[in-house]
Structure 1
């Protein structure tokens, strides 16, 4: 891929598989499964994910899915849903965000439904998505940002081989209105991968 190409002209695959997971772009109708996963996990997601401040309606979730589908097709955000390959259950969400096509920089974030936590699915998904970004999108940089208090999210970044670059201090307000810190992890071409 040349670096001056308009992102809309890129042919980006809409799915990838890992050992246990199918990770794909959202499709019309995925809102029902998304809504179920969010509602099950609302208490665990609320401190970290702005979308979990209030319980979404089924319509809210389907609207989010449809907007995410359009963004994927425009290549402005590459939202991805994570499914258990064997059961077909939606177990979480991830993707590539804050995309800078000129330097091939991407941020990945993630969440998992409560009943599927602690099984290594998110680390597997992050590794799969990072490999996808490197192989398919010629990523030069992949970032993970998380609230410094979110120890589980930081542990995923570390297990997936991301390097802690630093901590942005007092850079965001938490749900309680207090200032909070953000950890920034990355994988960079020429350092963590070739």
Structure 2
């Protein structure tokens, strides 16, 4: 199996617009990451420094190309009216041979605690299993990130593993961390 040639670039959930990245989203991405930096840097290796507009443009250009090729289906999470960037999600670590993917997500700090990450993950789970035909979806998170781990549990994912000393802490490469692996299969 390969990535669908006609993969949509926009989706809607009850409260959100999910859209594939565009370079012109750079200012919104810089703003969302900057206002969330203290929280994001604890969990995300890529968030150790605040992005510059140039870095964001380059990042989004690469993400747009990867989406078009079906290599990484990153989606920016916007308010329903498309005016405010709320976060990012999508299908990562794709293997179309199985087919399988990993759902990742982050929500900008001003929007956390409102159920947006769970809404997005629920949509992607349904779409991935029932439309794209994934046979396996994973959600992985740092074992210390209880807020993130609640989402797959709430969506009926099974915890497959606790990978001990699996990675270094995003904000302190001198510290090892454990990774939780959750899955839904068909």
**What TM-score does the superposition give when structure 1 sets the normalisation length?**
0.91
- More strand per residue: 2
- In 2, distance between residues paired with 1:19 and 1:88? 16
Q: In the alignment, what sits opposite 1:122?
A: 117
What RMSD in Å do the two structures reach over aligned CA positions?
A: 1.2
Per-residue CA deviation, residues 147-187 of structure 1 (Å, 9 max, x unaligned), is 00011110122122211111111110113211110000011
User: Hey, what does 1:192 align to over in structure 2?
Assistant: none
Matches of 2:56 and 2:158, distance apart in 1: 33
Count of aligned pairs between the two proteins: 184
Tell me the residue number matched to 2:76.
Answer: 81
Q: Distance in 2 between matches of 1:95 and 1:87?
A: 17
Residue segments in structure 1 that go unaligned for 5+ positions in a row: 190-194
TM-score, normalising length: structure 2: 0.95
1:87 Cα deviation from its structure 2 partner: 6.1
Q: Secondary structure at the match of 1:172?
A: strand
1:105-159 per-position Cα deviation (integer Å, ceiling 9, x unaligned): 0001100000000000110011111122123311111000100001111012212
Name the structure 2 match of 1:92. 87
Deviating beyond 3 angstroms after TM superposition, the runs of 4 or more aligned structure 1 residues are none
Structure 1, residues 70-128: CA drift from partner, whole Å, max 9, x if none?
00001110010001104631100001011010111000110000000000011001111
| 1:8-66 superposed Cα distances (whole Å, 9 cap, x missing partner) | x6321111111001111112201110110000000000010111101111111111111
